[in-house]
Amino acid sequence: MIADYTEAAVCHVDDMVDGELKEVRVGDTDVLLARADGQYYALYPKCSHYQGPLVKGLLHGNRLVCPWHNACFDVRTGHRLEAPALNGLPTHEVRIENNQVFVRLTTDKDSLENPLAALDDENTQTYVIVGGGGAGAFAAEGMREASFTGKIIMLTESQEGPYDRPNCSKDYLQGKAPDEWMPLRPADFYQDYGIEVRTSQRVVSLDPANKRIELASGETIQYDQALICPGGKPNELSVPGVELRGIYTLRSLHDSQILRELGQAGKRVVVVGSSFIGVEGAMSLRKLGSEVHIVGREEVPFEKNLGEKIGRLMQSWHEKEGIRFHLGRQVQRFDGDGVVNAVILDNGERILADFVLLGLGVKPQTDFLKGVTLDKDGGVNTNEFLQVTDGLFAAGDVARHPMPDGPQRIEHWKVAGQQGHVAGLNMARLGSGEPSQKAEPEPYRMAPFFWTNQQGKRINYVGHADKFDDIIYDGDPEKDEAFLALYVRGGIIKAAAGLKRDQDIIAIRELMQEGRMPAAESIREGFDWVQELKKS
């Protein structure tokens, strides 16, 4: 009898130790082999987010972390544990015979979502998500993962359902990512799980005391639990001429589509603001063939976040590609007859422009909230479970949540997705079923993670340091090679940034989350972060 499966011996039972990853071949298929707690596991070898090579990531206990964007999976089941991945990893059957490890191919490469509950028409509860970005998408799935079977309504001002927003300033803007890549899920996914995605819906009022939402259309919705995750709205620039046509922001898929068309025509563009999204947008427009100028108030781009050395390095990457910087400068006015044609700086310099991109950051979009005290920046304060008040939760750009160093509000895609997931789980656990049947809520304690792609180079950043008094370097940023930068305040490492140091960044994030970060002084003479993590 001929076997209808493919199987192969891939190693001796003692060839690998706990925490080790190895890519092996079974027939014509690449497989990731992992060992954790004395057991072998076999999985699809690429991250379900952007197909990052998981063998170059890190295995900590049962947590398998992708090197590129720190998506996390349970190595035992393949289930997705953390954003930005939505799908888990297919697994293969493993057996031990005569001290040999055999892997049998038991799935194809198509990954699957985590187990989700279905809509039950007899459940009369309604959960509403205000916002259709990453936080909203992960929240809806978190609710279903936690076995909520009632109605889920997602309200978004966007013309589209949840999509891959970080790509709007990168490959999509460059014309390298087709439209079909952008949705996080196909429309039938939301239909299958009873998640009603309502696009082009603007919320004008949310009253948590009465659990009522009012839309711009005049419609009102009563809810049992609500999550606010509307994201941010672009900061404005109050100078003469800002009302001229041809001045854009980059916040949505629609914005990216417009800018892509303009950029392909080889126009002259001035980007106002040297923020991450502003510089990424400038990079992408330059790749389309536009002549690009960046105007920034800072003397060095990203100096406040990453320090002068790394800021100057990143600036040099863009200058080599023909982008011109005007730093330490502000816009005095925009000139044009109905349509912008020039940007005038505070030193009198005149830069010709066919269009302008404003990249000045965002502020929380929370004007619709009633009876909720907002932070001075417009953010919403939550408890450790991301709960604002009874029946109301917050996630993403608007959420200011407690952390060991004090409340933080972080504007990053992975943070938004993971907060949305945790909030969705907690809404279901705290709001569904009889009190005796409710599961314990899950505190949100993830160390913040951020990545930026600049001229084909990816810098990963973990932690949060809005201020620092010292930077410890492992490697030299001025030589444009692999390096690690550790941001220190009061003798404590608050954050780290790395280029081509993916495993170190993962190890630092895991140590931060476990409260095991070493003192800054102990690592000045060199340090093995992965080995430090393995001491647990």
Q: For residues 448 and 464, is the Cβ–Cβ distance under 8 A?
A: yes
Give the DSSP H/E element, type plus range, for residue 413. Answer: helix 413-431
Q: DSSP character for 245?
A: B
Q: Which two tokens stand for residue 459?
A: 């810098």
- Report yes or no: 487 and 463 within 8 Å, Cβ to Cβ: yes
Give which of 331, 470, 307 is closest to 315, Cα–Cα: 307
Contact 361, 235 (CB under 8 A): yes
Residue 187 neighbours by CB under 8 Å, 6+ apart: 161, 197
Query: Which helix or strand (DSSP H or E) is residue 259 part of?
Result: helix 253-264
pLDDT of residue 265: 82
Residue 190 tokens, joined: 């939301």
Please name which of 339, 400, 345, 341 lies closest in space to residue 375, comparing C-alpha atoms. 400
Instruction: Show Cβ contacts of residue 220 under 8 Å, excluding neighbours closer than 6 positions.
Output: 212, 213, 214
Kindly report the pTM of this predicted structure. 0.95
Cβ burial of 213 (10 Å; 0-12, 13-18, 19+) is buried
d(CA 459, CA 399): 25
State the DSSP H helix or E strand holding residue 164, giving kind and residue range, or none if neither: none
d(CA 91, CA 93): 7
d(CA 166, CA 106): 34
Residue showing tokens 């409260």: 515
* DSSP conformational letter for 6: -
Residue 531 carries which side chain, given as an amino acid letter?
A: Q
For the segment 491-530, what is each residue's pLDDT rounded down to a tens digit? 999 999 999 999 999 999 999 999 999 999 999 888 999 9
Kindly report the average pLDDT of the chain as a whole number.
94
Buried b (16+ CB within 10 A) or exposed e, 433-467: eeeeeeeebbebebbbbbbbbbbeeebbbbbbbee
User: Rounded to 5 degrees, what angle do the CA atoms 98, 99, 103 make?
Assistant: 95
In what order do the strands lie in the sheet containing 63-65? 58-60, 63-65, 72-74, 80-82
Q: Give every residue of the chain whose pLDDT is below 70, as ranges.
A: 1-3, 107-111, 432-438, 480, 536
Cβ-based neighbours of 251, under 8 Å, separated by 6 or more: 232, 233, 234, 362
Output DSSP code: residue 138: H
| Structure tokens, 474 | 């492992």
Binning the chain into helix, strand and coil, the percentages to the nearest 5 are: 25, 35, 45
- Dig out the tokens for 294 from the structure: 């960046």
User: Using CA atoms, how far apart are residues 472 and 326, in angstroms rounded to an integer?
Assistant: 29
> Cα 364 to the chain's mean position, in Å?
17
Query: Is residue 412 within a helix (H) or strand (E), and if so which, with residue range?
Result: none
Q: What is the pLDDT of residues 281-322, one digit of tens each?
A: 999 999 999 999 999 999 999 999 999 999 999 999 999 999
DSSP state of 189: H
Domains, the chain, in order of start with CATH, read 7-104 (2.102.10.10), 126-233+363-437 (3.50.50.60), 247-360 (3.50.50.60), 456-534 (3.30.390.30)
Tokens of 4: 């209808």
pLDDT given at position 1: 40
Residue 309: φ, ψ to 5°: -60, -50
Residue 324 bridge partners (DSSP)? 293
- Strands 324-327 vs 291-296: parallel, antiparallel or unpaired: parallel
Question: Using CA atoms, how far apart are residues 260 and 281, in angstroms rounded to an integer?
Answer: 10
Residue 139 makes CB contacts below 8 A (sequence gap 6+) with 129, 227, 229, 395, 420, 421, 423, 424, 427
Q: Do the beta carbons of residue 54 and residue 72 sit within 8 Å?
A: no
| SS3 state at 260 | helix
